[in-house]
Chain A
């Protein structure tokens, strides 16, 4: 291929069909609603609104296909797009840090793939939506550093048994409630009173004959059954055929997905560390999730975090093993230094306040009106117990330390996170102290990096400053003095 004078290329013609598919899906239920409820302003207006929005999305897709041109020369990637607002973007090839191939179900049916080229800078990624599958693969190899060898070594292939961890997803209750929410939203959208729907009235009269514990138990069972099924299906869709490979040039490649597929190629140079997340239910089951800390990716953004996942939810041991292989040393297994008891006291008092502030006025109101149901008195002590237990657990989670060239920090009870961030990725420190922390001689140290901000929470002031000095020698040192005895 003559790279010097590469010709301008267009997106795949099938992109047009993908854009039009936006119109097809939702039109069917909308048409069904019009047919069953009869045409009238109540049905036609929402449907018309929906169609206008979808037509806009489809038109944007058509416009993109008509105007976008791209080419890859020896040195640069160039993308031109836009009709009224022309936009020419040109990125040096050596700035490419990640190539992300995504294909939703419709894309896959039509044999096209969306290519996202990440440059790791502050500028938005380049997006080719969409090109043919073979062209996407060609681009992926072309933009990799070695330019086309594919002697990969497998780091991880997901075990079928790990699917059990899907049941420990924190999303289960939400997924269980979602269909009910959506159902009532649709009723509301078309202006239908829930009491006016025949079978709902029957269900309601049936339920109101039961005693409330039975009814609550049944409701819980139904929600959980839907939640578990949904979480399982979602898990399969997202994590199907998960593979993490390391290609000959050191690029990591992550592939996954059942209906929609996703392939992320990540250059070694963009990796800043890893994060082990243990949401409470998953932790109870001995599981954890592992994701890469990637320059230019915010780890607090749910979608981006999933895209940088190095593992599906898996046994903690497997996650530690993969982390050790990616980082080159068992960094996450290093012992962490505990935080001072003042951090525990801070958490306990916070728990007491969090319960007392709403509970005390409510109890007063209950006494005043004298109309408080008996069982409700138990709610506040129960909440307090849970809050205190979570606080103690949060304190036990706290820890920080170093291992090799990595800084380590761990915190969180409901979602405990252990972070290993490369010390040379730290691009600044923030020390923050709340009034409560100042009373107790504590501070929070935050390490800013292009792969997110990572906190060492509630350390003693001297301990935290010494740690910052240990991680990045000399940066904070000029601004630190021995403590004056009066303070």
Chain B
């Protein structure tokens, strides 16, 4: 029989869609605005600048329109007695699992943008540099509770974490 990974149980907060959209615009808008105003000001190079604007703006618009909703469908998380399980990505998808016994630290991560939407991320680190799991876009209070719960559970499970 063929097997596949099931999506983790919980979705992230709906506000994360807006957070990702703002984040995407923060990437896309500055170059678009700069190129647009340059095109308006410098008449001789207008056609070239508008061409460059198009090259930046079209993929940018597609990214800002599609990415947030798609991410919301993919980004999910789950904590069981034995492990933390999380899915992330929008084109390139990732599913990560870390056993409770190997967890070293659990932190909240909050960028300025996440704070505006009162969102918070949870970062679960293990002894592997690449093995840490980040769950972004959780409600602030939920994230704080999750960190406490994970810290307590990781300490309760024996293991030297390496």
Contacts and interface: CB of A to CB of B under 8 A. Distances in A.
- Is the pairing of A and B real? yes
Interface of A: 120, 122, 295, 298, 425, 427-435, 438, 446, 448-450, 452-453, 461-462, 465-466, 472, 474-476, 478-484, 487
A273 to B, nearest CB: 14
Interface centre among A120, A431, A479 (most CB of B within 10 A): A479
Contacts of A449: 127-128, 131
Contact of B6 (A122, A446, A480): A480
Given A450-B162, A465-B3, A465-B4, 15 more contacts: A122-B104, A427-B98, A427-B102, A427-B131, A428-B131, A434-B91, A449-B128, A450-B128, A453-B130, A462-B1, A475-B97, A479-B85, A480-B5, A481-B6, A482-B3
Contacts of B91: 434-435
B5 A479 contact: yes
Given A428-B98, A433-B92, A475-B83, A448 B6 contact: no
Contact of B92 (A295, A425, A432, A487): A432
Contacts, number: 116
Given A430-B94, A474-B82, A483 B128 contact: no
Interface string B4-27: 111010000000000000000000
Contacts of A482: 1-4
Main secondary structure of the interface of A (DSSP, over half): mixed
Contacts of B85: 478-479
Nearest to A272: B162
Nearest to A97: B162
Given A435-B91, A450-B162, A453-B131, A429 B4 contact: no
A425 B161 CA distance: 10
Given A428-B131, A448-B130, A465-B4, A478 B82 contact: yes
Contacts of A430: 94-97, 130-131
A428 B4 CA distance: 18
A465 B5 contact: yes
B31 interface: no
Contacts of A122: 104, 127
A461 B131 contact: no
B5 to A, nearest CB: 6
Query: What are the 9 closest A-B residue pairs judged by CB atoms, nearest first?
Result: A448-B131, A448-B128, A427-B102, A428-B98, A450-B127, A453-B130, A462-B2, A483-B2, A428-B131
A487 B126 CA distance: 33
Contacts of A466: 3
Given A448-B128, A453-B128, A475-B99, A431 B82 contact: no
Contacts of A427: 98-99, 102, 126-128, 131, 161-162
Interface in B119-162: 126-131, 133, 161-162
